[in-house]
Structure 1
Amino acid sequence: MAAPSNPAQRISGVPHVAALINGLEKLPGKANLLWYLILGGLFLDAYSNAALSAGLSPMVKELGLSATQVGLLTATAPAIAILFNPIGGWLAARIGRVKPLLLAKAIAVAGALLTAYADTFATVWSGRALVGIAYGIDFAVAMAMLAEYTPTKLKGRLNLWQCVWYVATTGNLALTLVFFELGVGTDIWRWSVGSAAVFAGALLVLQLLFLVESPAWLASQGRLAEAAKCLHRIYGFNVEAGERAHEQAEQPSIGFRHTGVLFRKPYLPRTVLSTMISLTQSMQYFAIGWYLPVISLAIFGEQFEKATVGSMVFNAAGIIGGAVSAYVGRRMGLRLSSAVGYAMAFVLLLTLGLGFGSLPAVLAFAVPFLFIFFHSAGPGANGKSIAALSYRSDIRTLGTGITGMLGNFGSVIGLYIFPQIKESLGLGPTIALLSAVPLLGLVTCLIIKWDPTRSGIDPDEEDIDFQAPALAGR
């Protein structure tokens, strides 16, 4: 639905910008292109994180790494992302959405190249640290910007990031298989990581040329003339700057000192829900995802090609589930679809854990396949999406950054604690024990009723009828 050509509509603040965008039935061509260009950054994040895993064994042999060094390498990117999630959100709240996204791509290029040409552990670690910085910044900002670009009726499509994540992981596995067939030998990990630099460079150029700043963020800063221009460039609206709304006349600069607003009404339940979903979904994924190569080797054989194809088959469940999550999220709501996903994950983890080693071959394949499907169709996608949709534009990236940081602790817990439990109890009992994690997620979804796709109003439009506590000096 295009805006009328005459007369020009006048915008006076974020609520008016949000109302214009939310009135759309679908995204026009230019907006759709930009939407997927931002989503491409999340593809890169997943691809960069997966780039080292397929060639990890050859790298260990070539560089002579110890088990401790391998553990540090695998944990580095997600651990550093914990710190840079809120930093990315803070940057986007202060200087806009586009500049941090471009910065993240430049850092990703540097990190991939540094890793690909490394000949020591220290250099590889430094490269992976840069990848973690890029990932932390990009994810917090990209999800917020996608939310600000998207009309209310299409909010469920934010869940497509989960599908893109598995597509990227599968794509990296496929490309690694190609490199293997070309006979690159132990350098296969360098080719895998180096390909991430190519993707990052291409995306950097495309985003530099085409991205348009978020009109909602510009309006939140009182830059109404620029917001009007961006609305025209993205959606084709015929708008111009009006007089600023009184409540926005003294808009403070958002910083870490304003984090407390996320933990006060009306945002407290939203913050708790998105954080708990992010935390528990990442923990439960490690119960299966971390051991997919082991499961794949047991089912498909120990040859590199068969094991890689097997991992791709399991990732296909994530692609399907991630694609379905956009539809399910729209039909059921993000909270309810998370609850269903958690319930199925609980049953499947308990089944796999109690029957590990004795399940028939068909079930040994079907259970982890179904787990990945229900995980990606439900809570795997929803934690990030709920956070991006739950806050006003002026604090949205701060919210996605802080909740992303808290949620990413699940990855670190998975990388360090789960292997220790496995060492003590064995893989089967560990998986059965970890069924408590989706159960905790399920209980959270049943207790907290907030759902941004069912609230009936965009958080940016809440200011029309509701004045949140002042941010300055709180």
Structure 2
Amino acid sequence: MASPSIQGTETISCASDVAALINRLRRLPGKANLLWYLILGGLFLDAYSNAALGAGLSPMTKELALTPGQVGLLTATAPAVAILFNPASGWLAARIGRVKPLLLAKLIGVMGALLTAYAGSFETVWAGRALVGVAYGTDFAVAMAMLAEYTPAGLKGRLNLWQCVWYIATTSNLALTLVCYRLGIGTDIWRWSVGSSAVIAGALFVLQLLFLAESPSWLASRGRLADAALSLHRIYGFDVVPGERAEAPAGEQRTIGFRQIGVLFRKPYLPRTLLSTFISLTQSMQYFAIGWYLPVISLAIFGQEFEKATIGSMVFNAAGIVGGALSAYAGRRMGLRMSSAVGYAMVFVLLLALGLGFGGLPTVLAFAVPFLFIFFHSAGPGANGKSIAALSYRSDIRTLGTGITGMLGSFGSVIGLYIFPLIKESLGLGPTIAALSVVPLLGFVVCIVIKWDPTRSGIDPDGETIDLKPAPVPAPH
């Protein structure tokens, strides 16, 4: 794929100039495309690390003799820590750039995975999972923001591919767990599952260190126009020169810190923040309560044989791969908000049916319902909460916005992961699933009430409202 051809040079004076230049592209040139997927690889690691514990949860529980409360605490630790590090990493990325926090996340991910894999007690596993939470919280908000800044407005639906990558990562970890099982590794199977994420984190660290270029939109928003021009050339092949720095609009704060969080809850950002937060909160709650426990659900459906349950989980996650791949198409056709609403409506019906009929459904339906749950979750709200956040803010507050949204959304993960085992222990699996159907119902209502949609309102990668009609490409200087 050839780099974009521009006759002569053009001048950039602010982040909006950078965004306008990137928005001309109808497709990403070869190098930019490779870098885009390299950033996306960090989200693969986040998903893989989260799935690693779930895939080996049953043998780990037996080996370490864990109580239900300890299991709930371990599974909730990573997202709980991410609650703190989502906004912290967003603030850090707003101050020092996108690349450094991404690299730091990979190093912490290596340490967390190795500590967990070699753990001999509940306390050590917990410490390792806490480090994984730091890496997860640091990486996710920054990566989504950077992807948004790398992506032309006409290709913004690509951001939803993170959901497809999430399920590919989960399925990959399940496949590794199955291979370890067939090799007769025994109860140590969870150590291999968790430890393999250290290898992925290390490889990503090296690749991102060697090849990633800083976001030109962030550089321009900080007044570093010469660096932004160089980054545009490295990523896209654009031949641009720095101009005289444009003054920020009156009253607009460009030095962003925690004291500026209030801007996310004022016009025009309030409805954007509320919608992305509620979608992130409810989708993570329903996923981490149900989808993350698919190995447990598979055991209940297919019997207590580990191999059959793992294969069943892999098939369930295949629905997520397909749904995640289709989420970009669904978002383009219906908008991110309405595709979320449709997904929530279907998930509500499916959870209610699975919960009320659990144990009494024919095997075909008992399999089809969770399969469809994963499909509609990944095609709708599963992808959209984080994508809406990444597309809703200008470059200087984008990581702060995605960080705060991620923090609030992580509460859903904690609730789902910690409360689910406890409710399941007292009520049973079926009634617990039925009770959780109220979560997608709430998400549906929010999507109907709040009308904001970045794919329908015309928002460029720097967060400014633009005309949805394509503007003519200006002649080069």
2:403 to 388, 401, 404: 401
Higher alpha-carbon deviation: 299-308 or 362-371: 299-308
- Could you tell me how far 1:459 is from its partner in structure 2? 5.7
Determine the structure 2 residue equivalent to 1:295: 297
Alignment of 1:234-249 (within 5 A): 234-247=235-248
Q: Secondary structure at the match of 1:26?
A: coil
Determine the structure 2 residue equivalent to 1:281: 283
Give, in whole Å, the separation in 1 of the partners of 2:119 and 2:427: 37
2:266 to 256, 259, 264: 264
Alignment of 1:405-420 (within 5 A): 405-420=407-422
Higher alpha-carbon deviation: 244-253 or 407-416: 244-253
Determine the structure 2 residue equivalent to 1:308: 310
1:332-351 deviations in whole A, cap 9, x for unaligned? 21111101101111111122
- Could you tell me how far 1:354 is from its partner in structure 2? 2.2
Q: Contact between 1:19 and 1:461, CA under 8 Å: does it hold in 2? A: no
1:229-277 deviations in whole A, cap 9, x for unaligned? 0001101111010111122799642111100000000000000000000
The residue type equivalent to 1:275 in the other structure is: T
Determine the structure 2 residue equivalent to 1:443: 445
Alpha-carbon spacing, 1:461–1:431, altered in 2? closer, same or farther (3 Å): closer
Determine the structure 2 residue equivalent to 1:40: 41
- Could you tell me how far 1:289 is from its partner in structure 2? 1.8
Give, in whole Å, the separation in 1 of the partners of 2:185 and 2:434: 40
Is the aligned partner of 1:53 residue 2:54? yes
Determine the structure 2 residue equivalent to 1:108: 109
Determine the structure 2 residue equivalent to 1:97: 98
Q: Secondary structure at the match of 2:66?
A: coil
Determine the structure 1 residue equivalent to 2:85: 84
- Could you tell me how far 1:438 is from its partner in structure 2? 1.1
Give, in whole Å, the separation in 2 of the partners of 1:290 and 1:209: 34
Is the aligned partner of 1:454 residue 2:456? yes
Give, in whole Å, the separation in 2 of the partners of 1:329 and 1:320: 14
- Could you tell me how far 1:84 is from its partner in structure 2? 0.5
Higher alpha-carbon deviation: 341-350 or 11-20: 341-350
Higher alpha-carbon deviation: 319-328 or 415-424: 415-424
Give, in whole Å, the separation in 1 of the partners of 2:441 and 2:62: 40
Alpha-carbon spacing, 1:422–1:58, altered in 2? closer, same or farther (3 Å): closer
- Could you tell me how far 1:454 is from its partner in structure 2? 1.4
Determine the structure 2 residue equivalent to 1:365: 367
Determine the structure 2 residue equivalent to 1:120: 121
Determine the structure 1 residue equivalent to 2:474: none
Determine the structure 2 residue equivalent to 1:434: 436
1:353 to 345, 352, 355: 355
Q: Contact between 2:149 and 2:461, CA under 8 Å: does it hold in 1? A: no
Alpha-carbon spacing, 1:425–1:389, altered in 2? closer, same or farther (3 Å): same
Q: Secondary structure at the match of 2:358?
A: coil
Q: Contact between 2:391 and 2:459, CA under 8 Å: does it hold in 1? A: no
Give, in whole Å, the separation in 2 of the partners of 1:28 and 1:123: 45
The residue type equivalent to 2:47 in the other structure is: A
1:403-456 deviations in whole A, cap 9, x for unaligned? 110011011111233344444443333322222211111111111111111112
Q: Secondary structure at the match of 1:51?
A: helix
> Identity over the aligned pairs, expressed in percent?
82
Give, in whole Å, the separation in 1 of the partners of 2:435 and 2:232: 51
Q: Contact between 1:52 and 1:189, CA under 8 Å: does it hold in 2? A: yes
Q: Give ranges in structure 2 of 5+ residues lacking alignment.
A: 468-477
Give, in whole Å, the separation in 1 of the partners of 2:96 and 2:292: 37
Aligned-CA RMSD value: 1.9
Q: Contact between 2:68 and 2:422, CA under 8 Å: does it hold in 1? A: no
Alpha-carbon spacing, 1:331–1:30, altered in 2? closer, same or farther (3 Å): same
Give, in whole Å, the separation in 1 of the partners of 2:341 and 2:451: 11
Give the structure-2-normalised TM-score: 0.94
Alpha-carbon spacing, 1:62–1:406, altered in 2? closer, same or farther (3 Å): same
Give, in whole Å, the separation in 2 of the partners of 1:244 and 1:96: 19
Alpha-carbon spacing, 1:248–1:219, altered in 2? closer, same or farther (3 Å): farther
2:325 to 319, 323, 326: 323
Q: Contact between 1:3 and 1:238, CA under 8 Å: does it hold in 2? A: no
Higher alpha-carbon deviation: 297-306 or 439-448: 297-306
Give, in whole Å, the separation in 1 of the partners of 2:208 and 2:325: 24
Q: Secondary structure at the match of 1:52?
A: helix
Alignment of 1:10-49 (within 5 A): 10-49=11-50
Q: Contact between 2:54 and 2:295, CA under 8 Å: does it hold in 1? A: no
Determine the structure 1 residue equivalent to 2:159: 158
1:122-181 deviations in whole A, cap 9, x for unaligned? 222111111000000000100000000001111111011011111101100101111122
Give, in whole Å, the separation in 2 of the partners of 1:112 and 1:268: 37
The residue type equivalent to 1:292 in the other structure is: L
The residue type equivalent to 2:358 in the other structure is: F
Give, in whole Å, the separation in 2 of the partners of 1:28 and 1:291: 40
Q: Secondary structure at the match of 1:246?
A: coil
- Could you tell me how far 1:210 is from its partner in structure 2? 0.3
Q: Contact between 1:418 and 1:430, CA under 8 Å: does it hold in 2? A: yes
Give, in whole Å, the separation in 2 of the partners of 1:302 and 1:447: 44
Give the structure-1-normalised TM-score: 0.94
Q: Contact between 1:345 and 1:438, CA under 8 Å: does it hold in 2? A: yes
- Could you tell me how far 1:196 is from its partner in structure 2? 0.7
Alpha-carbon spacing, 1:147–1:221, altered in 2? closer, same or farther (3 Å): same
Higher alpha-carbon deviation: 310-319 or 288-297: 288-297
Determine the structure 2 residue equivalent to 1:468: none
Give, in whole Å, the separation in 2 of the partners of 1:58 and 1:285: 22
Q: Secondary structure at the match of 1:207?
A: helix
Q: Secondary structure at the match of 2:213?
A: coil
Q: Contact between 1:42 and 1:161, CA under 8 Å: does it hold in 2? A: yes
The residue type equivalent to 2:239 in the other structure is: N
Q: Secondary structure at the match of 2:307?
A: helix
1:179-222 deviations in whole A, cap 9, x for unaligned? 12222222212211111111010000000000000000000000
The residue type equivalent to 1:75 in the other structure is: A
Q: Contact between 2:163 and 2:324, CA under 8 Å: does it hold in 1? A: yes
Q: Secondary structure at the match of 1:271?
A: helix
Q: Secondary structure at the match of 2:11?
A: strand
Alpha-carbon spacing, 1:434–1:186, altered in 2? closer, same or farther (3 Å): closer
Determine the structure 1 residue equivalent to 2:189: 188
Higher alpha-carbon deviation: 393-402 or 420-429: 420-429
Determine the structure 2 residue equivalent to 1:472: none
Give, in whole Å, the separation in 1 of the partners of 2:431 and 2:184: 40
- Could you tell me how far 1:458 is from its partner in structure 2? 1.2
Q: Give ranges in structure 1 of 5+ residues lacking alignment.
A: 466-474
Q: Secondary structure at the match of 2:455?
A: coil
The residue type equivalent to 2:393 in the other structure is: Y
Determine the structure 2 residue equivalent to 1:226: 227
The residue type equivalent to 2:464 in the other structure is: E
- Could you tell me how far 1:294 is from its partner in structure 2? 3.2
Alpha-carbon spacing, 1:9–1:248, altered in 2? closer, same or farther (3 Å): farther
